[in-house]
Structure 1
Amino acid sequence: MLNNRTFLLLVALITLCAKSWSQPGQAVKVVQSSQHKKVDIFIGGCLFTSFLYPDSLEKPVLYPLNADNGTAVTRGFPLNPQPGDPTDHPHHIGLWFNYENLNDLDFWNNSYAIPQVRKHLYGWIRNTHVLKISSGKTGLLIYESSWTNEQKDIILQETTRFTFSGSVGRRIINRTTTLKAIQKAIFTDVKDGLLGLRIAHQLQMPDSTRKPVRDSIPTGNYLSSTGATGNKVWGTRASWCKVFGKMGADSVSIAIIDHPANPNYPGFWHARGYGLFAINPLGEKVFTNGKSAKNLSLNKGESVTFKYQIIINNGKQTPAAYQLNRQAAQFATKP
């Protein structure tokens, strides 16, 4: 039984969470710079993120992702290294969407670190053009990209629709990506995919940074909709997952919500303590220890669509499980 004081404290905490979750929205401004091949997204007058698609990158990315307080929740390396940043996996940049094995080409691991003599084994996602941007209570960005081999032969045509919104202490990204096969496209069941981001050093799990001595900076942990935490989240299915920790004086979290319309829902969480936070609905074989596999095949002209929501919070506490369950239920109703 709860005593009176504990009960009142619990009610106050739930009320505070509810109020912080229902703050009025802030204005969103979306600004394109064709010269620099980027689109900047401002929320409440401050830079939230930039959509980057220069020729120097092997894929378009959202980088960095900033919380409402201006703190970057994604790793700085390799584009803007910060003190203490791990320098592994140079292909982990901001928030991205790609796959390790499409028609025997590796789109996931491609980066400047791959020797030129091996580049033919990798794929590129080359931005074709930005179709539409708009500003207001919600920001909109729609773009087209081509998934190609080294010779620029197109395998998939990608159309992605981003919406951006925010309020005090919260930022939300909705991503809808449709992939249309220009030629037969086979996603061979593999570990690395599909939607991924590389979290800031502080949000890594303690003792998970692959360093020979204890790293005192990381404070992070994972929690999924099934109640799994920490390293136990990896390889499990769940409708949402969040990483959370302390960054300065604030509690900060990033939550990714899966959509019931996605193939193989709910997806598998490829969430690593060292900082990779990804969801992969197509990598069933490795996550089930070979008990089952999911190989997605698209004939020429066929298409597949994936929808995800990303929520970034900062403040006295991060969203509770019941709030993320409610948010996931609302996201599930979005067409």
Structure 2
Amino acid sequence: MAVEINERGDNFLVTIDDQEFAEYETGKEHSRPFFREVRAADGTILSRPISPPGGDHPHHTGIWIAIDKVNDIAFWHQQGRIKNRSVEVVRTGSNPAILKVKNEWLDQDGKVVLRERTKISIYENRLLIYDIRFTAGEKPVTFGDTEEGFFAFRMADSMCEENTGEVTNADGLHSAKGCWGRQSDWVDYSGEVEGRTFGVAIFDRPLNFRRGRYHVRDYGLFTINPFGERDYTKGRLPAQPVTLPAEASLQLRYGMYFHQGDNKSAKVNRVYLDFLEETGVPGSKQREIQYRSSADDTVQPAMFYAPISDKPAPLLVALHTWSGDYQQDDHQACAEWCQQKGWVYIHPNFRGPNRNPEATGSDLVVQDIVDAVEFASHHAEVDPSRIYLVGTSGGGYTALLMAGRRPEIWAGVSAWVPIVDLEHWYHENKGDGDKHWREIANSCGGPPGTSEVVDRQYELRSPITWLEGARGINVDINAGIRDGHEGSVPVSHSLRAFNKIADLQDRLSEDEIKYFVNEAKVPSLLVREVSDSSYGDKQPLFRRQSQNVRVTLFDGAHELIPQAALHWLEQQRRLDSKSSSSSATSR
């Protein structure tokens, strides 16, 4: 049995096993595109005919996407137009068949507010998966708080709860009223058409930036919507609008499954699990997700992996380098370790490369990383005593910043070749002719010494300002001894970070630090034999530990040794406040 898609005039007819399933109406004579005349396997029409203007909810059109309050335009109520620009049949005669549609959301003057790119996968069991990507234009787009939306179906009147219908969600709640406004993996709405029972289920993908809430009515409207926290909770939760910055995107995925019989006979929960597998939840590898930053209500991307397990697992948060972003593969070995070990993994964007005030150790960066931990903890079984942080170069810089600013989260922080003092690094970079001094100045508002305000930014964005707060957690700092000669960050940064956390008697002198930097060697009085198999061919040349902090200079330059970082992290457990003066783990 195969799914076929064929053109029918301006529209596209979907058939399954040579029987009509639905017709995709491009909306040339309507205010938006939609699927009409949705049929069961025996040909029974399950969707309600569209009401004429002035009739009962004429804006309820088969299967459709719309939402009110997009920059305050009520697209749900057809006050703005969603204009189809193209439909591409990607696959046909297959399972699934796939449509890709491009739509533009226009204001009353016909100007583009939002661009939509949706891939619709249609399976032979009558499961539809919508992969929706919204992209803002040259101006930001705000999705306001509203119950009026989003991914919707209007069923035949005889199926409604007012007549023969029954509503059930994945948590066992019943009735439209009982399921309205609630979050759940799925909701099923079943009822009779001509004496036979049919149903439709809507599936939520838990890796969407926010769990959706179901707008389910006894008269036959059935939707899921992630944009109505206040409306759906009757004010119990505050409004949480979502703003897409200019050119930014938001991805959402949902499923809709049409079946014969009630939810149990149709095995709705089994099909939901198939939906999760098809959309990568859980997956065999890391996948791109989006989550909401509580700092400014923007949507932030990340790469995420969650193992298939009911048991709490460690979480590894990996931070990209100075000029990188969440798609960088520098920590691929860490991601693969997590997949092999059954750990949860997240690689957040935290405002991308460190080139502007929104990035580079800002308050937004700190909250984005905290929210990434919250997202991972909500979407996987995370052991709170084993939340780890690793970063290299600019990621090491941010890792130490997080160690000082939010120490209560971390069981262990592994920072490699980190920057700890932005003012020092500015002068070092400018002296070496490197590019990063311009990015630092752009982030902080100017060169050091420009003004008290600018100098304060250098302080607030530098880990050295905050590192005393990391004395109660496990911190491991690493640098290649030749960094600064064969790399951009002198080892003085790592050594001074250690000094900031270490007990007074364990700190290195400034003369010792200068020798390390200038000679790329260990001072003769500090030479000790150190062996650590996790470092492979790049063995430690110098190591010192003070309570819970350790610093290692190894035979290398500006680089990460993944196995060494992961081996150390694996042994760490979160310390409580009473045990901050001693570590309960081996190093």
TM range (shorter): 0.7 to 0.9
Offset of residue 151 of structure 1: 1.7
Matches within 5 A, 1:88-99: 88-99=56-67
TM-score by length of 2: 0.45
Match of 1:171 among 105, 121, 126: 126
Cα 1:57/1:322, change in 2 over 3 Å: closer
- Structure having the higher strand fraction is 1
1:330 is paired with a residue of what secondary structure?
A: helix
Q: Which one of the candidate residues 214, 217, 223 is aligned to 1:272?
A: 217
Tell me, what secondary structure is at the counterpart of 2:72?
Answer: coil
Decide whether the 8 Å contact of 1:282 with 1:295 is kept in 2.
yes
Distance 1:226-1:331 versus aligned 2 partners, 3 A rule:
farther
Partner of residue 144 from structure 1, selected from 83, 102, 107:
102
- After TM superposition, list the pairs within 5 Å mapping 1:63-74 onto structure 2: 63-74=36-47
User: Does structure 1 conserve the Cα–Cα contact (< 8 Å) formed by 2:87 and 2:101?
Assistant: yes
- Which letter does structure 2 place at the counterpart of 1:38? N
Aligned to 1:62: 35
Equivalent residue letter for 1:74: S
Q: Is the 8 A contact 2:201 2:268 kept in 1?
A: no
Q: Could you tell me how far apart the structure 2 residues matched to 1:328 and 1:223 are?
A: 18
TM-superposed CA distance for 1:124, in Å, is 0.9
**Identical counterparts, % of pairs:** 25
Aligned length: 277
SS of corresponding position for 1:333: coil
Separation in 2 of the partners of 1:226 and 1:286?
21
Residue matched to 1:326: 273
Between Structure 1 and Structure 2, the one with more helix by share is 2
Structure 2 equivalent of residue 113 of structure 1: none
Q: What is the aligned partner in structure 1 of residue 157 from structure 2?
A: 201
Is 2:199–2:261's contact at 8 Å kept on the other side of the alignment?
no
Matching residue of 1:210: none
Shift in alpha-carbon separation, 1:145–1:275, aligned structure 2, 3 A: same
* Post-superposition CA distance 1:228-278 (Å, at most 9, x none): 11121111111111101222343211011011221211x111000011000
Alpha-carbon distance change, 123 to 171 in structure 1, aligned in 2, over 3 angstroms = same
Q: CA deviation at 1:279?
A: 0.6
Asked which structure has the greater CA Rg, the reply is 2
Q: Which residue matches 2:328?
A: none
Q: Displacement, 1:321? A: 5.8
Q: TM-score, normalised by structure 1?
A: 0.78
Q: Which amino acid aligns with 1:39?
A: F
- How far apart are the structure 2 equivalents of 1:229 and 1:324? 20
> How big is each residue's C-alpha offset from its partner over 1:127-182, in whole Å with a ceiling of 9 and x where there is no partner?
0111334212221110101011122111111101011121xxx4111111100001
Please, which runs of 5 or more residues in structure 2 have no aligned partner?
Answer: 282-286, 288-587
2: CA distance between counterparts of 1:321 and 1:136?
25
Pairing of 1:268-307 with structure 2 (within 5 A): 268-292=213-237, 293-307=239-253
What secondary structure is seen at the aligned counterpart in 2 of 1:257? strand
| 1:1-335 matches, cutoff 5 A | 26-33=1-8, 36-78=9-51, 87-110=55-78, 122-137=79-94, 138-166=96-124, 170-182=125-137, 183-206=139-162, 218-230=163-175, 231-265=177-211, 267-292=212-237, 293-315=239-261, 318-320=265-267, 322-324=269-271, 326-327=273-274, 329-331=276-278, 333=280
Task: State how far apart, in whole Å, the 2-side matches of 1:310 and 1:322 are.
Answer: 12
Shift of 1:54: 3.1
Would the alpha carbon gap of residues 295 and 252 (structure 1) be closer, same or farther in structure 2, given more than 3 Å must change?
A: same
- What is the one-letter code of the residue matched to 1:141? L
- 5+ residue gaps in structure 1? 1-25, 80-85, 111-121, 207-217
Q: Deviations over 1:287-318 (max 9, x none)?
A: 11212222010111000011111111115874
Look up the SS of the partner of 2:77 in the other structure: coil
Q: Secondary structure at the match of 1:65?
A: coil
Larger relative contact order (C-alpha < 8 A, sep ≥ 6)? 1
- Per the TM alignment, residue 323 of structure 1 is displaced from its structure 2 partner at its CA by 2.8
Q: 1:309 to 1:109 in 2, by over 3 A?
A: same
Give the direction of change, closer, same or farther, for the CA distance of 1:135–1:331 in structure 2 (3 Å limit). closer
What amino acid maps onto 1:221 in structure 2? E
